[in-house]
Chains A and B, each alone.
Chain A
Amino acid sequence: MPNLLAEGGRQLLLGNEAISRGLIEAGAGFASTYPGTPSSEVGNILEKISGEAGLYFEFSTNEKVAMEVSAAAASSGVRSFVFMKHVGLNVAADPMMTLAYAGVKGGMLIMSADDPSCHSSQNEQDNRYYSTLALIPMVEPSTPQEAKDMVKVAYEISEKLELPVLFRTTTRVNHARGVVEFGSKAVPKIKGHFDKDVSRFVNIPAYAKNNRTRLLDLNAKAQQLSEESPLNFIEGSGDVGIITSGVSYTYVREFISDASILKLGFTNPLPEKKIADFIKGKKFVIVAEELEPFLEDQVFRICAQNNLSVPVYGKRSGHLPRAWEYSPDTLKGIRELVKVTDFTQPLPAVTVKLPSRPPTLCAGCPHRGMFAAAKKAAGNSDVIYCSDIGCYTLGVQPPFQAADFIICMGGGAGAAGGFAQSTEQTAIAFMGDSTFFHAGIPPIINALFNNHKEVIVVLDNRTTAMTGHQPNPGTGRDFGGITTEPIDILSLVKGVGVKFAKEVDPYDVKAATQVMKEAIAFDGLAVVISKCPCPLELKKQKQLVIRECTVDQDKCTKCYNCVRSIACPALIKKDGIITMDPTQCIGCGMCANVCPVDAIEVRK
């Protein structure tokens, strides 16, 4: 682990580590998040170091609340940092839109970590448009070093304008690693004072109307800052121009040799005059950016407004793709226009048939037991499995195939109500414990309120697992000098009036199956809570008790019920014989539970 609180020097840092260091150097006093890849490591780092660094940090229950707590801190004069993955900003968009009208007093950065190519996401939306939608300034780093340095610069922009700044990154910035030179640390200001000003902070129509024009005036000022900003600079010379930003800059910079580059780091508002001056006299201009033609379309407009008839190539001309992340190979698309490095001919793909290796639920993952129970209980009936965002998304794979509909956090339970009402099919929704607190409670209340007959299964594995094991309201918090009690999901569900609410142990697949049968038969909303800690989290906490499962070959009838229903990676079927991989088996006993002839023994 790098030492992010070092006094100086240089270290090999992940983009997210560099950003965390940037907060220390900028004296940020308040940070909040809901974890989401590719932003998650920042939260894990702040969980560890915020106490020592002297800044306040919290995992908020969802991105909207994270935005609101950070907005309040910044409105009180404390530099705040709210961060999330791109789709998280959809959740937080409501407060963000009006926060822009109110503005802030201390600097506030909103990090949106976008995920081109959907490495760990359900879509690859381009959140740069949020900066133009909300009319807030935006910066985009290209490398870990820039990411660290830009934090400080972005706070200065935010404070000059009294506006939150969108700090937009992508996977290849957050998860890139590079040598980062440290600057000096700042002493964070963690307490401010909220000076009341209803004309700014209370956006009733009369005030909102005026704040709208105030915001437009601030954008004119922001544009001036962008014109003068050292974050926007020109490298090289020549009559061919390339305008680029983010990680795309690194590909252009390293693999194209005969063009002048306008590198944009301050990307909303754009430095329109600087761009027009750059284009003037060029033979043509290429815009190289990932995802949507955000810069490119504005470049077309800038050309039109400045009577520049210079051709602009990029996505609209079909030279560069709009889908998926860029790489050096992407530049082949503009080879006819500029000198791109001649890449060596790759070896062909092998002809040997390779087994697929999709991400999969871990050995001993309690979700396996609950999926097996749900499938068994449902039998041959026509069930729509509505799933959600988390490890259980992996339940889409065989043998479970327990995901027919996934859209967003909390979306499965909401949709299940709609399916229950609009079809004759049975609707079963899965969600995790963190998802329950994030966006899972309103659909439960909705189902009660509107009498939707659906089953909601809360897969409570006592952690936010997929993003790297962050605490959530169901676990309570214990870091940064603050300790809170866990919030009990069963009591909460019963408290709102759910009549069928039961907890099950997913390792006891047979008992869980029985409860699922009752839940499906129940005339109304049924909530089943599958309660069992994530073995990976237990391992991290050094609390995992490993037992060992063994197969008694004399008893085994080769029915393969174990691999068909649990499909644990520790179960190996070779030449028709089932054995256990002792390096993977944790002895949870799920396979033993489903074995009809007790051929699997769990040993201490």
Chain B
Amino acid sequence: MKYTVQIVGVGGQGVLLASMVLGNAAMNIGYKVAMSEVHGMAQRGGSVLSTLRFGDDVISPLEAAGSADLIMGFEPAETCRNLPLANRDSVILMNLDPVLPSMVAAGFEEYPDIEDLKKAVSDVNPNLFVIDATKIAIEAGKAVAANAVMIGAVAAIKGFPIPKDKLLEALIEQVPEKFRDLNVKAFEMGYNSL
């Protein structure tokens, strides 16, 4: 068994934390894990991509284009930008809450209609799951818990190789004690939303 998750989003959204949670959960159940992260310059509000691979015999920290089993999209435009990492059978989880790029905010560029982005994915892939992760996180208590919502949603995806309790356990390990309840609540809400 080999499984690849491509986690995409914008610097500051918690992509790295999510990849740590999934990676640790995979390690804890005995899988080999190989990951690759983007650090440095790109984190300043730029697109970020984190590759997570786990299974019986993985060593490469990168995956070929088209070979992702799951795209965990923290932001709709970034999910669409990275669609060539996936194939027809991949599962695509897309948070519908946009983060406006600076050039859009300043009025120099347009952000596409969310419905168009949904359609762009569902036209070529039948396994799209959409989620209002940021809104759900605010409902759970704080927008920063959106990554916990996303991880909860991943736990609900049929066929995802890491069981829900192991994901939750790894999440609790990774977040500061004082935000534990918030994250558990957000995780459960994400799980139930799918």
Contact = CB atoms under 8 A, between A and B. Distances in A.
Contacts of A254: 57-60
Contacts of A41: 39
Contact of A343 (B65, B109, B110, B120): B65
Given A179-B32, A569-B105, A352 B80 contact: yes
A405 interface: no
B136 to A, nearest CB: 16
A349 B84 contact: yes
A329 B85 CA distance: 11
B81 interface: yes
With most chain B CB atoms within 10 A of its CB, the pick from A10, A253, A357, A569 is A357
Contacts of A341: 64
B65 A172 contact: no
A82 B60 CA distance: 28
Interface string A249-260: 011011100000
A175 B59 contact: no
B60 A251 contact: yes
Contact of A176 (B61, B65, B86, B88): B61
Contacts of A348: 83-84, 124
B1 interface: no
A10 B33 CA distance: 12
B117 to A, nearest CB: 6
B87 A349 contact: no
Contacts of B59: 143, 250, 253-254
Contact of A347 (B42, B45, B60, B86): B86
A182 to B, nearest CB: 13
A556 B143 CA distance: 30
Interface in A241-276: 247, 250-251, 253-255
Given A176-B34, A355-B111, A574-B107, A346 B62 contact: no
A345 interface: yes
A177 B67 contact: no
B78 A327 contact: no
A346 B105 contact: no
Interface stretch (B19-27, B147-155, B158-166, B182-190): B19-27
Interface residues of B, number: 66
B35 A571 contact: no
With most chain B CB atoms within 10 A of its CB, the pick from A14, A38, A176, A354 is A354
A429 to B, nearest CB: 21
B172 to A, nearest CB: 15
A359 B120 contact: no
A94 interface: no
Given A352-B80, A352-B112, A569-B102, A344 B41 contact: no
B139 interface: no
Contact of B41 (A14, A37, A355, A574): A37
Interface in B109-139: 109-112, 116-117, 120-121, 124-125
A538 interface: no
A400 to B, nearest CB: 12
Contact of A178 (B34, B85, B112, B120): B34
A352 B106 contact: no
Contacts of A178: 33-35, 61
A353 interface: yes
B104 interface: yes
Given A175-B39, A466-B41, A343 B104 contact: no
B87 A347 contact: yes
Contacts of B34: 143, 176-178, 250
B41 A176 contact: no
B102 A567 contact: yes
Interface residues of A, number: 65
Contacts of B46: 357-360
B40 A355 contact: no
B106 A571 contact: yes
B43 interface: yes
B77 A357 contact: yes
Contacts of B85: 346
Nearest to A569: B102
Contacts of B43: 359
With most chain B CB atoms within 10 A of its CB, the pick from A250, A358, A571, A583 is A358
A254 B61 CA distance: 10
A178 B84 CA distance: 25
Nearest to B143: A583
Contact of B62 (A172, A345, A572, A573): A172
A176 B36 contact: yes
Given A38-B40, A352-B112, A355-B110, A345 B66 contact: yes
A38 B39 CA distance: 8
A450 interface: no
Given A179-B27, A356-B101, A573-B105, A361 B44 contact: yes
Given A355-B110, A359-B44, A573-B105, A179 B87 contact: no
A563 interface: yes
A37 B32 CA distance: 27
A12 interface: yes
A403 interface: no
Contacts of B33: 12, 177-179
Contacts of A143: 34, 59, 61
A40 interface: yes
A510 B19 CA distance: 44
A327 B77 CA distance: 24
Given A359-B46, A583-B143, A354 B80 contact: yes
Given A343-B64, A356-B103, 6 more contacts: A176-B36, A177-B20, A177-B33, A354-B81, A354-B112, A581-B100
16 contacts: A119-B40, A177-B34, A254-B57, A346-B65, A346-B85, A347-B90, A348-B84, A348-B124, A352-B80, A357-B101, A359-B11, A359-B46, A362-B45, A467-B40, A569-B105, A571-B105
Interface of A: 10, 12, 14, 37-38, 40-41, 119-120, 143, 172, 175-179, 247, 250-251, 253-255, 327-329, 341, 343-362, 391, 393-394, 398-399, 466-468, 560, 563, 567, 569-574, 581, 583
